[in-house]
Amino acid sequence: MTWRNRRVLDSVRVRSPMSTPLPRARRRALPFALMFCLCAMANGLMAADTNDLATQLRQLQEQNRVLQEQLRQQSEAVRRLSERLNDLERRRENAQAASTDAGTSDRSTQPGLLTRGLSSENVVLSGEGGLAFFHQGSQGQFPNAEFRVDEAKLFLDAKVWKDVYFFAEVNLITREQDEEYLELGELYVDFENVSRLWGQDRLLNMRAGRIDIPFGEEYLARDAIDNPLISHSLSDLWGVDEGVELYGRWKQLQYVLAVQNGGHPLLRDGDADKAVVGRIGYDPAKWLHLSASAMRTGNLDVQKDQFSELWFGGGFIRQLGAPATTTKFQVELLEGDAQFLWPRGHLKSAGGWLRFDDNDPTTDHRRHVHYYYVEAVQGVNEKFYGAARWSQVFAPDGFPLVGAGDFGQRLFGNLTEGLWRLSLGAGYRWSRDLVFKVEYSLNRGQELGGKPRDHEDLVAAEVALRF
C-alpha cells in the first residue's frame, strides 16, 4: 500500500455501530428482548436439568429395585439356611441324646458339624482320619516300627423327609483291617422323634439298617479323633451289625433296645436266633452319667456265622470246641458304666461279665470272663492334656484274647487266662478337629498253663483329624 492510499484511508471517518443512536422505539424494546433471551436460556437449562434429574431418578429407582430383589433373595437364602441349621441343631441335640440313649456313632451329627464337612441344603459329607507311628516288641502287632494310615473314614448324611435321615459310613482303612480295601461301616435310615406323633418329644426314635452294637459306652469314643489315647482298653467291646434299634429319653433317663443278626457275615445270617442288646442310662447331675448294659448274641452257627459280630479283647468271639463237635455257640454279657465329668477332664470306668457256652456234647467249654477299666483325662490348659487308662481281663479257664499281640496267633492259638494294660499318654488339641497325641502302653499277661505274655509293649504317636 502506497503512502497516498494510506492517507486517503486515514481521512475517512469510520463510525462504530455502538456509536450510532437507535431509534427510541427500539431502545424501549431492547430490555424486553434481553429478558426474553435470558428466560429462554434459563428455560432451556432448566429443561436440560429436569431431563437429567428424571434420568437419575429412574436410575436410582432401578438400583433400588435391584437392591430390594437382592435383599429378598438373601432373606430367602438366610431363611433356608436357618431352617437347615435348625434341622442340624435338632439332629445334633438328638445325636447327643442318642450317644447316650442309643449309643450309635452317627458322625454327621456330632458337635462341630456346622463348621466342617461339605454340605448342601440336604446332604452333608464329612470324614475322619488318623496318621500314626507304631512300634512294639517282637510279639506285638507292630514289631517293625511302622508308619501307617491308622484310620480313614467317610460319612454321608442326607435328609430324606422331615425328621427322616439317611446315614452311611465307608471305612477306607481301619486298624483292624489287614488289607487295603473298602469296608462298609454303618448304613441306616433314622426316623427321629417318632413319639412326636402322640405329643412326646424324643421319647421314641428308630433306626433300621447296619448299626453300631449299642453295648457299653467305650465304643462311642473309639475313633481316633475322639479317643484321648491311641490304644483302647483290653476289653474294647464294639461291633457293627444289621438290625433295628429303638432309642429315646425321658427326663434324666435314656434307653436303647436293638435286635440284630449277631453273626459276622454282612449279607446273610447263619441262624434265625437274633442278638438282643439293651442299655439304660441315668444322669442324676450334669457331672455324672451312669448306665447298665445287657446283651446276648443269640445262637451262632459255627460253619455259617463263624464269629460273633461283637469284638472282645481285640478280636472276634469264636467257638472253643472242634468244628466237628460244635455246631452252635453263644455269649451273654453284662456291663456297668460310670462317668464323672468336669470342664477340662473326666474319669470314666466300666466293669463287666461275659459268659460263653456252646452245644458241644463231648466237652464243657463254658467260660466266665470278667473285665474292667478306669480312664482319667485332665487338661493342663485349653490345648494340652494328659491321659491314663488301666484295664484288665480275667479268664481263669482261658479265652481267645488278642490284646496287643499278633492277631492270628492270639485269636487262634493258645488261650489266655489274664491280661493287664497300663496306657500313659498326652495330647495337644490345635482345635476340636485336629489333635496330636503320644502314648506308651505296658502290656502283660499269662497264657493258660502259666506261660507269660510279654514283648507286647507299645510306643505310638498319631495325628488325628476330621473335616
Looking at every residue in the chain, the average pLDDT score rounds to: 83
Would you say the C-alpha torsion 88, 90, 96, 99 has a positive or negative sign? negative
pTM of the model: 0.76
In a domain, 347, yes or no: yes
Is residue 307 one of the residues assigned to a domain?
A: yes
pLDDT tens, position by position, 20-62: 444 444 445 544 544 554 444 545 544 544 566 667 667 777 7
DSSP 273-330: --EEEEEEEEEEETTEEEEEEEEE---EETTTT-EEEEEETTEEEE--S-TTT--EEE
Share of the chain above pLDDT 90, in %: 63
pLDDT band, very low/low/confident/very high, at 268 (cuts 50, 70, 90): confident
Mean pLDDT computed over 436-463: 96
Determine which helix (DSSP H) or strand (DSSP E) holds 51, and give its type and residue range. helix 24-101
Model confidence at 105: pLDDT above 60 = no
pLDDT at 104: 42
Euclidean distance between CA atoms 153 and 176, whole angstroms: 13
User: Total structural domains in the chain?
Assistant: 1
Looking at residue 74, its pLDDT comes to 65
Range of the domain at 447: 87-466
Which of 11-15, 268-272, 387-391 is the least confident region? 11-15
The type of residue at 285 is A
Structural domain contains residue 60: no
Q: Is residue 461 part of a domain?
A: yes
User: Which carries the bigger pLDDT value, residue 162 or residue 246?
Assistant: 246
Q: Minimum mean pLDDT among 239-253, 262-276, 342-356: which range?
A: 262-276
In a domain, 14, yes or no: no
pLDDT at 429 over 60: yes
CATH number at 382 reads 2.40.160.10
Q: What is the per-residue pLDDT across 258-267, written as a single tens digit (0 to 9) for each?
A: 999 999 887 7
Q: Compare 101 and 5 and report the one with higher pLDDT.
A: 101
Beta bridge partners of 123: 158
pLDDT in tens, 375-404: 999 999 999 999 999 999 999 999 999 999
**Inside any domain, residue 2:** no
Whether 422 contacts 374, CB under 8 Å: no
pLDDT score at 77: 61
pLDDT above 80 (res 458): yes
Distance CA 159, CA 123 (A): 6
Instruction: Using pLDDT thresholds of 50, 70 and 90, give the confidence band for residue 90.
Output: low
**Residue 346 to residue 427: CA distance in whole angstroms:** 15
Inside any domain, residue 112: yes
Asked if residue 454 is part of any domain, the answer here is yes
- Is the pLDDT score of 84 beyond 70? no
Rounded Cα gap, residues 148 and 172, in angstroms = 13
